[in-house]
Amino acid sequence: MKRSLLILLAALALGAALFAGAYFAAHRASELCCARPADDLNWLQLEFHLSNAELARIRELHEGYLPQCAERCARIAEKKRELDALLGSGTNATGVPVKQAEIAALRAECQSNMLAHFVAVSQAMPPAQGDRYLAEMKKFTLGAHEKIEQSMSGDCVHEHSH
Amino acid sequence: MAGAKNEYEDSKLSVWLRESRATPALPSRFQENVWRRIESTAAAPEKSGNWLDALAALILRPRLAFAGVALLLLTGTLLGAQSGVQTARHAAQMRYVAAVAHEFTDRQ
């Protein structure tokens, strides 16, 4: 009986090792195989079943949008550094709300441009896919902030822009 | 008269048979050993050992063992590949979202 138990335990261990080995090897292989496509837009084409013409139009929009987005982000980063400097010095407390307002205004501008870009991209897709794209993008960009705001304030959602 | 004679012969035969039956001497502490075996059997039933032995014998059959190994490898490979594709897809999605909206993405 003891020998049988040992055989069963060994078989179980061997089976678990075989399964885990096969699982992780296949996981890694397919992850490496599918990862790092030529550019960020390959995901869009696969996920939303886009034709080459639709992808070309979206690429145009994407490449037009990215430099503007980068410029706005650089301006926000600069304002944040200025705010940090003000907070660190502790001497000019009156300047802090002004900097916060400037950052908020830049973020609002950035957000409205981003939403306009999402709408433009969704319109370059077939209608059903465009709706799905907009919903996905809202979930990843605005949804996260809404969740935080709701968790912090319960039913009453404070108005703050970003 | 004849019946009485028969009865007499039967009882004589019985006595003779009883005397002629060999009764070997029991080993010492025979009864005690018997009881000990009965108690140990009752304490640890053989049934669990039986099914374990049967299962062990079953998985040691070459055909069944090879089939089990093949099944595990196939299942592991399929599930791993599916999970890897999903991970890569999610990573690509996150790269796109980060590229177009990195100021607003959830970075938790």
Q: pLDDT digit string (tens) for A7-60?
A: 999 999 999 999 999 999 999 998 888 766 567 788 888 889 999 999 999 999
pLDDT score of B47 more than 80: no
> Can you tell me the distance from the alpha carbon of B96 to that of A114, in angstroms, rounded to the nearest whole number?
13
Q: Which of B96, B102, B107, B108 to mutate to test the interface with A (most CBs of A within 10 A)?
A: B96
Give tens-digit pLDDT for A53-76.
999 999 999 989 988 888 888 888
d(CA B100, CA A69): 7
In one-letter notation, the amino acid at residue B71 is L
pLDDT band with cut points at 50, 70 and 90 for residue B27: confident
Burial (CB count within 10 angstroms: exposed 0-12, middle 13-18, buried 19+), residue B6: exposed
Per-residue HEC secondary structure of A85-148 comes to HHHHHCCCCCHHHHHHHHHHHHHHHHHHHHHHHHHHHHHCCCHHHHHHHHHHHHHHHHHHHHHH
Mean pLDDT of the A129-157 span? 72
Contacts of B72 in chain A (CB under 8 A): 15, 18-19, 22
Distance CA A139, CA A145 (A): 10
Q: How many distinct helices (H) and strands (E) make up chain A? A: 6, 0
Could you read off the pLDDT of A77-107 as tens digits, one per residue? 898 888 888 887 766 667 788 888 988 898 8
pLDDT top residue among B9 and A50? A50
Confidence of residue A160 (pLDDT cuts 50, 70, 90): very low
CB pairs under 8 A between A and B: 143
Q: A23 and B73: CB-CB below 8 Å?
A: no
Assign B3 a pLDDT band (cuts: 50, 70, 90).
low
pLDDT at B1 over 60: no
Query: What pLDDT digit, counting tens, does each position of B53-90 carry?
Result: 888 888 889 999 999 999 999 999 999 999 999 998 88
When scoring A3, A62, A140 by the number of chain B Cβ atoms within 10 A, the one with the most, hence best to mutate, is A140
Return the axis-axis angle of helices B47-59 and B62-101, rounded to nearest 10°: 80
Handedness of CA A24, A25, A27, A32 (dihedral sign): positive
Contact A37, B86 (CB under 8 A): no
What pLDDT band is residue B103 in, cutting at 50, 70 and 90? low
Complex confidence, ipTM: 0.71
What is the pLDDT at residue B41?
Answer: 75
One-letter amino acid identity for A115? L
CA triplet A114, A43, A26: central angle to 5 degrees? 140
Residue A2's CB is within 10 A of a number of other CB atoms, namely 8
